[in-house]
Structure 1
Amino acid sequence: MHDLTGFQRDILYVIAKLNKPHGLEIKDELQEHYDQNIRHGRLYPNLDTLVEARLIEKGKKDDRSNEYKLRNRGKRELKSRLKWELSCLPEDLIAELDDVAIKQTAE
């Protein structure tokens, strides 16, 4: 996972969030986060790289669209990355994040 770009890691998180999304669903979700237009020429080569790295699986959704799914390796890599990120944060900040997560769950 350390050799992925931030954009590629964000793609993994989006695929984990959505249920077998197609490319445009991934693009729309990323655009909300990035607050900018994500071009096809940026998205699809990065999806292909993640497929080649065996982090995601690509299948046919219909005649025009592919769908993407996290592979077990992709899940393990996300978990490992998240654990590392959390280990870098001070406990008071983690506590604040827990408060935010609890509030969002309650809403």
Structure 2
Amino acid sequence: MADIEKNAGQEAVEKKAKKAAAKADSNKSGSKGKKETKEKKGFFSRIAGWFKDLKKEFKKVVWPDRKKVFNNTLVVLAVVIIGSVVVGLIDTGLLKLMQFLMGLSN
């Protein structure tokens, strides 16, 4: 029984080693093939390619409708106003506290 488990363990190790070797070989050959077949593009052709890719990406974007933009704008404005009021109140409270403490020291 122990021999069977030992053989199974050795077979698993051998399979992993073969897979790792095959993967390393494919990575080496794949990178060479890309370098050999791919020629270097010129500056302007790379820029043109970048704009083509940009155009493709903009087609994939799902733009929100007018109502959603309006609602999101209202939410942002409300949060900014509420945050400003809270920070202002904290600032005023700390100012009064400092004036009170400075008055005690005199």
TM-score range, shorter chain: under 0.3
Q: Name which one, 1 or 2, has greater alpha-carbon Rg.
A: 2
**TM-score where L is the length of structure 2:** 0.24
Q: Which is helix-richer, 1 or 2? A: 2
Could you say which structure has the greater relative contact order, defined with CA pairs below 8 angstroms and 6 or more residues apart? 1
